[in-house]
């Protein structure tokens, strides 16, 4: 079911949609939560064959832009990055180009970046983004091998050759390109060096790092590919990435400062962990047996909730970065 998010539903509190402020000058802006791929390593089990995700959310454009402006005013800085990401594929948002254009009109926004798997990008769409003022595209690409790439996308129609051509078009445009593969030990070991070589050959990273190699992490509701070997963060940084840096002469161990990200005033936490709060149910949740509620101008994801309307008392079990999860009491 597609659930439309508009006023008065707060755009702070849910991980599925709205805005996430983690106490820096970067704001994660989430307008849509669905995905068109079914990656076997997906950390949130998104996509058309999801076993757990039953609803999708889409945010009204005007409402989303207004909320971004309000948060920027609160933060009181003029070097904001708006990162258009999602628990799925941001390009599925029908007004994604218009969103970029509207965010570019905000004086305090310096960088607008987009995370995408690239399957919905075209030459024409890249030109539209370029005109709208998009700064950077973070393009997911984890294998150069056509068959393995299809397996890692989880859909038979995935065409890595098309993604490679799209990457070249982005690199030729005014938009910066960062290629972001996910390293899956024992699965795409031979592919990561090929992806790195490709990124360097086409001129990725005009004004930013050309690559952002990501570590596979297993989450409770996420997917785990068969045969994968889980690395520690120490192994990932000190053995794997350092060896690739030495081989290719490119920086792969990245820090926030490499993207101009710094600490900034964060929106206040309004519900403490362990606190019991009365929450008004407003919509079904993203998961089965989950509802979405509102309390103190924040969204709350209520897990294991059998009630479908009205008010429910919950205990807040998580509140990190103003993302609230509660359980009925």
Q: Tens digit of pLDDT for each residue in 88-127?
A: 999 999 999 999 999 999 999 999 999 999 999 999 999 9
Do 241 and 292 lie in one domain? The reply is no
- Report the domain count for the chain: 2
Calculate mean pLDDT across residues 228-255. 95
Would residue 94 count as lying in a domain? yes
What are 157-176's pLDDT values in tens digits? 999 999 999 999 999 999 99
Residues 247 and 296 in one domain: no
Whether residues 209 and 300 share a domain: the answer is: no
**pLDDT for the residue 98:** 98
Tens digit of each residue's pLDDT (9 = 90 or more) over 124-136: 999 999 999 999 9
Asked whether residue 313 carries a pLDDT value surpassing 90, the answer given is yes
- The CATH number of whichever domain residue 293 belongs to comes to 2.40.50.140
| Boundary residue ending a domain (233, 259, 285) | 259
Instruction: Compute the mean pLDDT over every residue in the chain, rounded to the nearest whole number.
Output: 96
> Do both 221 and 173 map to the same domain?
yes
pLDDT for 73 beyond 90? yes
Q: Tell me, what's the pLDDT at 23?
A: 97
Yes or no: say if 108 and 34 are a contact pair by the CB < 8 Å rule: no
Is residue 51, in this structure, part of any structural domain at all? yes
Q: Is residue 265 situated within a structural domain?
A: no
Residues 202 and 313 in one domain: no
Chain centroid, CA 36 distance in Å:
14
Pair 246, 292 in one domain? no
Residue 105 and residue 226 in one domain: yes
Please tell me the predicted confidence (pLDDT) of residue 160: 98
Banded model confidence at residue 33, pLDDT cuts 50, 70, 90: very high
**CA angle in degrees (0–180, nearest 5) for 104-105-107:** 95
Distance from the Cα of residue 135 to its chain's centroid: 16
* Contact assessment for residue 115 and residue 160, using Cβ atoms and an 8 Å cutoff: no
The pLDDT of residue 188 is: 96
Calculate mean pLDDT across residues 22-45: 95
Same domain, 69 and 24: yes
Largest CA distance in the chain: 60
* pLDDT at residue 51, as a whole number: 86
233 and 286 in one domain? no
Q: Which pair of structure tokens corresponds to residue 163?
A: 């993604």
Q: Are residues 170 and 288 in the same domain?
A: no
Domain boundary at 259, 288, 309, which? Answer: 259
Whether 244 and 294 share a structural domain: no
pTM of the predicted model as reported, rounded to 2 decimal places:
0.96
Give a yes or no: residue 96 inside a domain. Answer: yes
* Lowest model confidence (mean pLDDT) among 131-145, 199-213, 223-237: 223-237
Q: Are residues 79 and 45 in the same domain?
A: yes
Domain that holds residue 32: 2-259
């Amino acid at each position: 079911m597609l659930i439309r998010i508009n006023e008065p539903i707060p755009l702070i509190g849910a991980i599925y949609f709205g805005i996430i402020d983690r106490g820096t000058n970067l704001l994660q802006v989430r307008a849509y939560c669905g995905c068109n791929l079914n990656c076997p390593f997906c950390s949130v089990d998104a996509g058309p064959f999801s076993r757990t995700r039953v609803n999708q959310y889409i945010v009204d454009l005007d409402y989303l832009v207004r909320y971004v402006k309000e948060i920027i005013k609160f933060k009181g800085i003029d070097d904001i990055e708006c990162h258009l990401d999602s628990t799925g594929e941001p390009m599925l948002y029908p007004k994604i180009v218009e969103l970029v254009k509207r965010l570019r009109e905000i004086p305090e926004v310096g960088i607008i970046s987009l995370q995408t798997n690239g399957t919905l990008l075209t030459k024409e769409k890249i030109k539209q983004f370029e005109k709208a003022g998009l700064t950077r595209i973070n393009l997911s690409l984890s294998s150069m091998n056509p068959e393995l790439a299809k397996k890692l996308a989880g859909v038979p129609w995935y065409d890595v050759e098309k993604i490679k051509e799209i990457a070249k078009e982005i690199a030729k445009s005014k938009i910066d390109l960062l290629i972001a593969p996910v390293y899956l030990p024992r699965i795409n070991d031979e592919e990561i060096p090929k992806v790195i070589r490709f990124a360097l050959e086409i001129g990725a990273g005009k004004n930013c790092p050309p690559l952002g190699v990501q570590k596979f992490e297993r989450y409770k509701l996420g997917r785990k590919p068969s045969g994968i070997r889980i690395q520690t963060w120490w192994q990932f940084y000190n053995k794997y990435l350092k060896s690739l840096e030495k081989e290719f002469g490119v920086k792969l161990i990245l820090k926030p400062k490499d993207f101009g990200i710094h600490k900034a005033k964060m929106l206040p936490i309004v519900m403490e962990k362990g606190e019991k709060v009365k929450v008004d149910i407003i919509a079904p949740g993203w998961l089965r047996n989950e509802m979405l509620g509102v309390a103190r101008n924040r969204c709350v994801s209520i897990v294991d909730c059998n009630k479908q309307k009205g008010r429910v008392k919950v205990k807040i079990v998580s509140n990190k970065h103003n993302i609230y999860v509660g359980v009925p009491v």
